């Protein structure tokens, strides 16, 4: 015959050991896989709608190797420009500005963020003019720095829009294999976000290191054939916006914590039956 008192004592000691082990596991996981991220800035938050200047935090980092002039060459490695609208305001596409159509009312000024790009008050393409159709899309790479208190895995959520598409990477180096479409070799956050008329989330787990890290935005500008003459085409305006950046505990760690909580719950139910 079993002894309920003895069984309860063993179960309680086992429960204490499990809780102690879980606390150690949580502490270890938190130290290595849930770094605290600071200093991650949105785009253009230093300027109100209708004014512009250079963004202190986002840099124009890399161009296509096929690029030569705009006209008058510009060289990557400078602070991106926050568009004021220019003169005339149509220098900046209507979908980027509040109340001007195509979803623009929710993608400028959201959380104080603004669209940024290559030139002051000018959202023109890096490759202006008409070209024989078809042509490759091209990409421009921007970057911003942030800090991590430890090495581990962080979960990022970025609320964004771009003309015409955007993808995000942490770490790595520029890959110039495609002369019109440089990209990054680092860890990608989720998938490419397409569409400029509305904001959308890009999210995913990526590794970070203790100290300074870099977030890269790869902005893809689409080549579009002329509707009246499909044998030629051109590129549209170029720019992007990040209206929210939310580093959170890694989903991997959260899953582990959830499993631990479920195990503790099961042990508690067992203790109640033995009591």
Residues 187 and 209 placed together within one structural domain of the fold: yes
pLDDT score for 27: 46
Residues 179 and 268 in one domain: no
Same domain, 14 and 44: no
Residues 236, 203, single domain; the answer is yes
Per residue in 2-23, pLDDT (tens digit) is 454 444 544 455 445 444 444 4
Give the domain range for residue 89: 37-249
Task: Say yes or no to pLDDT of 1 above 60.
Answer: no
Residue 86 has pLDDT above 80, yes or no: no
Mean per-residue pLDDT for 154-161? 93
- Segment 77-93 shows an average pLDDT of 70
Higher pLDDT, 59 or 72: 59
Helix (H) or strand (E) holding 190: strand 187-194
Query: For residue range 190-228, what is the model confidence (pLDDT) as tens digits?
Result: 999 997 777 889 999 999 999 999 999 999 999 999 999
Confidence of residue 52 (pLDDT cuts 50, 70, 90): confident
The predicted pLDDT at position 237 comes to 80
**Distance between CA atoms of residues 117 and 80, nearest Å:** 6
> Which pLDDT tens digit goes with each residue over 14-49?
445 444 444 444 444 444 558 999 999 999 888 876
* pLDDT over 80 at 156, yes or no: yes
Note the pLDDT of residue 181. 96
**CA-based Rg of the chain, rounded to a whole angstrom?**
25
| Two structure tokens written together for 159 | 């609320």
25 & 134 share domain? no
Q: What is the pLDDT of residues 71-84, one digit of tens each?
A: 556 789 999 998 87
Clarify whether residues 120 and 234 are in a common domain: yes
**In a shared domain, residues 179 and 105:** yes
- Whether residues 168 and 266 fall in one domain: no
Range scoring the smallest mean pLDDT among 144-153, 172-181, 251-260: 251-260
203 and 265 fall within a common domain: no
Of 234, 85, 54, 61, give the one whose Cα is nearest residue 139: 61
pLDDT digits (tens, 9 = 90+) for 138-155: 999 999 999 999 999 999
13 and 131 inside one domain: no
Say yes or no to pLDDT of 101 above 50. no
- Judge if 63 and 142 occupy the same domain: yes
User: Distances in Å between the alpha carbon of 1 and those of 5, 6, 7, 13?
Assistant: 12, 12, 11, 21
Q: What is the mean pLDDT of the chain?
A: 77
- In the chain, the number of structural domains is 2
Q: Length of the chain, please? A: 275
Query: Are 84 and 109 within one domain?
Result: yes
Q: 232-235 and 174-175 as β-strands: parallel, antiparallel, unpaired?
A: unpaired
Q: Which residue has the higher pLDDT, 269 or 259?
A: 269
pLDDT digits (tens, 9 = 90+) for 112-136: 788 899 887 667 788 988 999 999 9
């Amino acid at each position: 015959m079993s002894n309920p008192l003895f069984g309860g004592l063993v179960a309680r000691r086992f429960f204490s050991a499990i809780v102690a082990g879980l606390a150690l596991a949580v502490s270890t996981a938190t130290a290595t896989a849930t770094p605290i991220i600071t200093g991650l800035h949105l785009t253009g938050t230093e300027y109100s709608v209708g004014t512009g200047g250079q963004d202190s935090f986002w840099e124009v980092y890399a161009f296509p190797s096929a690029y030569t002039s705009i006209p008058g060459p510009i060289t990557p490695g400078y602070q991106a420009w926050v568009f004021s609208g220019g003169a005339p305001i149509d220098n900046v596409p209507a979908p980027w500005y509040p109340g001007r159509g195509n979803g623009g009312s929710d993608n400028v000024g959201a959380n104080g963020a603004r669209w940024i790009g290559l030139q002051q008050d000018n959202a023109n393409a890096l490759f202006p003019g008409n070209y024989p159709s078809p042509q490759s899309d091209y990409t421009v790479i921007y970057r911003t720095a942030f800090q991590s208190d430890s090495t581990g895995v962080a979960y990022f959520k970025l609320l964004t829009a771009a003309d015409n598409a955007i993808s995000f990477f942490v770490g790595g180096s520029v890959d110039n294999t495609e002369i019109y479409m440089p990209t990054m070799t680092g860890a990608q956050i989720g998938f490419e976000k397409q569409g400029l008329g509305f904001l959308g989330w890009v999210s995913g787990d990526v590794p970070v290191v203790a100290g300074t890290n870099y977030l890269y935005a790869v902005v893809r500008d689409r080549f579009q054939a002329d509707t009246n003459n499909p044998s030629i085409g051109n590129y549209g305006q170029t720019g992007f916006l990040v209206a929210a950046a939310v580093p959170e505990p890694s989903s991997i760690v959260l899953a582990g914590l959830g499993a631990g909580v479920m195990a503790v719950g099961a042990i508690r139910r067992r203790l109640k039956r033995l009591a």
